[in-house]
């Protein structure tokens, strides 16, 4: 599994945890961290839905026409209300890498690190591998002590894994190369200064 993760040093990774492959795996991976039990993935969805409904007209509002905004809103609500398992035939119910990581960060007031491993086969037969990593920082609130307790996910071959990092003797997470801050972070802070915490927690990373 270490070959799927662009982390330096790789020795900072303590374990990879594969969760149920019913296409609710993203929510299961979050549940594995938050509740130490992947079976509580529906509780994770309920938690996220509560946060989404509170800020759906601001922080999580899609920038587009009114028709598209309404469509996306209903699709996100449907995703978070669904308890269908498995849901192999409906990708709109899966954990979205577009909005879900930020929702998780704000819901549990902890940073989220999202790693992706993508293989593309060129016409020449050559395999091209892309490693991606993004950091999502809570916009509303976070205890400073939780800045070193990220919820870390890896998406590889359409399956989510929970990534567990090792800790120092003092209990702090081992240092790793910094993931890229997601592109919407500063835009949202600029657009909604009254909702976002005055402290930009991204400076802690």
What are the structure tokens assigned to 75, written together? Answer: 């699709």
Task: Tell me which DSSP letter residue 85 carries.
Answer: S
| Spatial CA neighbour of 174 closest among 149, 202, 151 | 149
Q: What is the pLDDT along the chain (205 residues), one digit of tens a residue?
A: 777 888 889 999 999 999 999 999 999 999 999 999 999 999 999 999 999 999 999 999 887 778 888 889 999 999 999 999 999 889 899 999 989 999 999 999 999 999 998 766 666 767 666 778 999 999 999 998 888 899 999 999 899 999 999 998 888 889 999 899 999 999 999 999 999 999 999 998 8
Rounded CA-CA distance 95/89 in Å is: 14
- Other C-beta atoms closer than 10 Å to the C-beta of 174 total 14
């Amino acid at each position: 599994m270490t070959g799927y993760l662009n982390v330096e040093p790789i020795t900072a990774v303590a374990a990879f945890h594969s969760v149920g492959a019913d296409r609710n795996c993203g929510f299961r991976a979050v549940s594995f961290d938050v509740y130490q039990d992947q079976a509580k993935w529906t509780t994770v969805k309920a938690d996220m839905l509560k946060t989404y409904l509170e800020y759906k007209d601001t922080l999580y509002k899609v920038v587009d026409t009114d028709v598209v905004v309404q469509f996306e809103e209903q699709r996100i609500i449907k995703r978070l209300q669904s308890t269908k398992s498995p849901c192999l035939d409906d990708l709109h119910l899966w954990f979205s890498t577009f909005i879900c990581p930020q929702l998780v960060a704000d819901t549990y007031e902890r940073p989220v690190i999202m790693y992706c491993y993508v293989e593309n086969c060129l016409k020449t037969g050559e395999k091209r591998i892309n490693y991606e990593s993004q950091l999502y920082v809570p916009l509303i609130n976070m205890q400073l002590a939780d800045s070193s307790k990220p919820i870390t996910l890896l998406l590889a071959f359409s399956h989510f894994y929970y990534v567990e990092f090792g800790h120092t003797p003092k209990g702090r997470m081992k240092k790793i190369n910094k993931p890229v801050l997601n592109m919407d972070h500063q835009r949202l802070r600029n657009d909604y200064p009254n909702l976002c915490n005055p402290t930009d927690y991204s400076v802690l990373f």
